[in-house]
Amino acid sequence: MTEGNRKHRPAVDTRRHPMGEVRKAVLGGDHDSLVIRETIGQMALEGCWEEVWKIADSMGREVSILLDRRERVFVDVGTAGSVILSPPEGSEIPFRLWVHTHPRLAYWSQTDKDSLATYSNLIEEALVLGFDHLKRTVNGGNHPLALAEEGPLSRWSSEPNVPYGKGGVASVG
């Protein structure tokens, strides 16, 4: 996950498009299409994290999802190795949830930790999705295990990876 300047997009109108349309957009290289972003947004609202990861993997891209205070969904498709975290124009803080994918394993990279530290006052919870599992962190309070001993990351929980379908994080909407 990297931060930076980008064209800010409005929230997506979430809906599941037929998977044939999604596959067509993926195979056609139209990775930033509304078909893909709206479908990913709806899957996120339903807590279908493995499906989100599979679409990102089929594109060979990382994907970022932000859910704002009003439960509006913002979806960005990045590159094979990164996706930008930048609070979207028109969104309302705090963000309830930030989700992003990694190509294989779910872990908090140093860049992810830098993003969490930078936006600690703006994000309540975060997930990183891997091929068969996810990793979660929650902001605020004293956690027995934190992402760091001091500084902004000391407010974020350090939790084990959770296999998809084994509880933990369900739907967000």
Residue 125 included in any domain: yes
Residue 44 included in any domain: yes
Q: What is the DSSP string of 94-151?
A: SBSEEEEE-SS-----HHHHHHHHHTTTTBSEEEEE-SSEEEEEEBSS--SSBS-SSS
pLDDT at 167: 55
Residue 173 vs residue 141, higher pLDDT: 141
Residue 142 vs residue 42, higher pLDDT: 42
Specify the number of domains making up the chain: 1
pLDDT at 4: 40
Q: What is the pLDDT of residues 44-95, one digit of tens each?
A: 999 999 999 999 999 999 999 999 999 999 999 999 999 978 778 889 999 9
Residue 77 included in any domain: yes
Residue 42 included in any domain: yes
DSSP label of 76: E
Torsion of CA 74, 61, 15, 130, to 10 degrees: -90
Full domain range(s) for residue 50: 19-163
Q: What is the pLDDT of residues 109-158, one digit of tens each?
A: 999 999 999 999 999 999 999 999 999 999 997 788 999 999 999 999 99
pTM of the model: 0.91
Residue 6 included in any domain: no
pLDDT at 1: 45
Residue 152 included in any domain: yes
Q: What is the DSSP string of 2-31?
A: B-------PPB------HHHHHHHHHTT-T
What's the pLDDT band for 7 if we cut at 50, 70, 90? low
DSSP label of 166: S
Residue 78 included in any domain: yes
